[in-house]
Amino acid sequence: MRVVVFTSRKGGSGKSTLCAHLSVYADAPNAPALLIDTDPQGSLALWHELRQAETPVSVKCEARDLPDTIEAARKDGIGWCFVDTPPHNTADIAAAMRVADLAVIPFRPAVFDIAAMAATLEMARAIGKPVLPVINSAPPRRGVQAAHVVTEAREALFAMSATPWAGQITTRAAFAHALASGQAVGEFEPGSAAASEVSELWQETRRALGIRGSKK
Ligand SMILES: Nc1ncnc2c1ncn2[C@@H]1O[C@H](COP(=O)(O)OP(=O)(O)O)[C@@H](O)[C@H]1O
Ligand SMILES: [Mg+2]
């Protein structure tokens, strides 16, 4: 079983969004995915209520109860745990990082968000967890050329000795519309550019965990 935590010290960076979309990719009949919502705001729990499909399974959990929840998931044969976190509760974020195999850190290519990355990275380093910084809500590429702000954001991360994902999640209404109907983009708009970005991010998540071969 793998545990991926979605975290950043900045609200609105896309933690809940990416957590929901990726969890549907990870979900498999023989190894179901579990969404663990530790954010009192309960975005993922709400998404799950709107969802017709029963999987991925979703559970609300206090951050301090994460070790027990993860252990129970392991016994239940869960393949992947995706943990969503609140932006401001340091103790809760640290507790989530501690149980994680990988911390996915979404950030918008904007100055305040990049500034907040330093604190998130420092925390992951102190706890000793690998990170996957992901540029979210990026302006669309022009052909293969990333927007200037995206290139700058990437350089800022390199300057913090972090390596962001080479891809990007673009600002697309489909991400929000899919969630509002309890779906992931791959279900809402199969074959769309949005679905293909999430698929690439899923492959990168697997790579970051050292899993070889592609799935979906
Ligand atoms: N790539 C995107 N394209 C369009 N809207 C997005 C994207 N990522 C996030 N959003 C929207 O931005 C808002 C904040 O995202 P959310 O995932 O709730 O952030 P967080 O969980 O980090 O606070 C939500 O309304 C969400 O629908
Ligand atoms: Mg959230």
pLDDT at 29 over 60: yes
Pair 130, 22: CB distance under 8 Å: no
Q: If you take atom 3 of ligand 1, which residue's CA is the nearest one?
A: 171
At 82-100, the pLDDT tens digits run 999 999 999 999 999 999 9
Nearest ligand, CA 106:
1
Q: Is this structure's pTM higher than 0.85? A: yes
Q: If you take atom 25 of ligand 1, which residue's CA is the nearest one?
A: 176
* 75 CA distance to ligand 1 middle (Å): 32
pLDDT at residue 212, as a whole number = 82
Q: If you take atom 26 of ligand 1, which residue's CA is the nearest one?
A: 176
- List the domains of the chain with CATH numbers: 2-208 (3.40.50.300)
CA distance 201 to 167: 8
Of 17, 35, 117, the one to substitute when testing ligand 1's pocket (max ligand atoms within 8 A of C-beta) is 17
Q: How confident is the model at residue 214 (pLDDT cuts 50, 70, 90)?
A: low
Query: Does an H or E element contain 91, and which?
Result: helix 90-99
At 40-85, the pLDDT tens digits run 999 999 999 999 998 999 999 999 999 999 999 999 999 999 999 9
**Which residues have a beta carbon within 5 Å of ligand 2, which is an ion?**
15-16, 43
The DSSP secondary-structure symbol of 142 reads B
* 186 CA distance to ligand 1 middle (Å): 17
Q: If you take atom 11 of ligand 1, which residue's CA is the nearest one?
A: 176
The string of DSSP letters for 155-192 reads HHHHHTT----SS--B--HHHHHHHHTT--HHHHSTTS
Nearest ligand, CA 42:
2
In terms of Cα–Cα distance, which of 33, 31, 12 is closest to 22? 33
pLDDT at residue 215, as a whole number = 60
* 28 CA distance to ligand 1 middle (Å): 25
pLDDT at residue 196, as a whole number = 97
Angle formed by the axes of helices 148-159 and 111-127, nearest 10°: 30
Pair 15, 96: CB distance under 8 Å: no
pLDDT at residue 213, as a whole number = 73
At 145-198, the pLDDT tens digits run 999 999 999 999 999 999 999 999 999 999 999 999 999 999 999 999 999 999
